[in-house]
Amino acid sequence: MSHTDGGPRQVLGLNEIAEMPQRRRARLINSISGFKPANLVGTADAHGNAACCIVSSVVHLGSNPALMGVVFRPPGADAHNYRNLSSSGCFTLNHVTADMYTSAHQTSARYPENVSEFEAVGLTPHWHGPAEDQFQAPAVAESPVRMGLTVSEDLALPNGCHFIIGAVQWVDYRSNGQAEDGFLDLAAQDTVCIGGLDAYYTASRLGRLSYAKPESMPEVRTDFMKGWD
């Protein structure tokens, strides 16, 4: 251990990490990357049966076109959400809130394929669009921020996981937390985040910072709705 003004520190080398007990290592490496977004992936099979699962790996890949990425663990016998989106070519992403985080977490249980996680944990499927042109994956009715995506690429990763690149087809969110410049205040949406595999956190505001320029330090605004020109 080494010490700084912030207290004792733990320093681990590659061999020490590799020799850690499996579950302890998994909890450490999953949490050390930082806070992660909490999202529910919504999918449906060919018969319209709704399914969902919680993920903490959603990343923004671009705004024009609007792309999101999400990592799925190596598909096994219980990977019906991955198989659904692979077959249908579409899925939804839905923010998790403080009111629903225990239900959202429960979707990680290995339910049989014929059991809908929506029904099992008490969440409600929301189908986007009119019946004649309905998006073929359910969103989560209780979620304040949701989006529908089509599968653009399915990339196999070296560890057996799959990185899905999704093209955003529609977004649906509560507009009360949106600033005039387009920014969406997720704290106003009650969105939560995840630390590690099982720790959930609410967000608190610090400030919005102006565009960084070499010649000056950024301006700080605590009024998140004021936005920038």
Q: Name residue 51's amino acid.
A: A
Whole-angstrom Cα distance, residue 204 to residue 214? 28
Please report, for residues 92, 171, 213, the alpha-carbon distance to residue 144 in angstroms, rounded to integers and kept in the order given. Answer: 13, 11, 34
Q: What is the pLDDT of residues 70-118, one digit of tens each?
A: 999 998 877 899 999 999 999 999 999 999 999 999 999 999 988 999 9
In a domain, 1, yes or no: no
In a domain, 129, yes or no: yes
Which of 163-167, 172-176, 224-228 is predicted least confidently?
Answer: 224-228
- CATH number, residue 215: 2.30.110.10
Per-residue pLDDT, 4? 55
Structural domain count of the chain: 1
By residue range, what is the domain housing residue 39?
14-221
In a domain, 228, yes or no: no
Q: What is the pLDDT of residues 113-131, one digit of tens each?
A: 889 999 999 999 999 999 8
Which of 163-180 are b and which e, b meaning 16 or more Cβ less than 10 Å from the residue's Cβ? Answer: ebbbbbbeeebeeebbbe
User: ω before 65 within 30° of 0 (cis)?
Assistant: yes
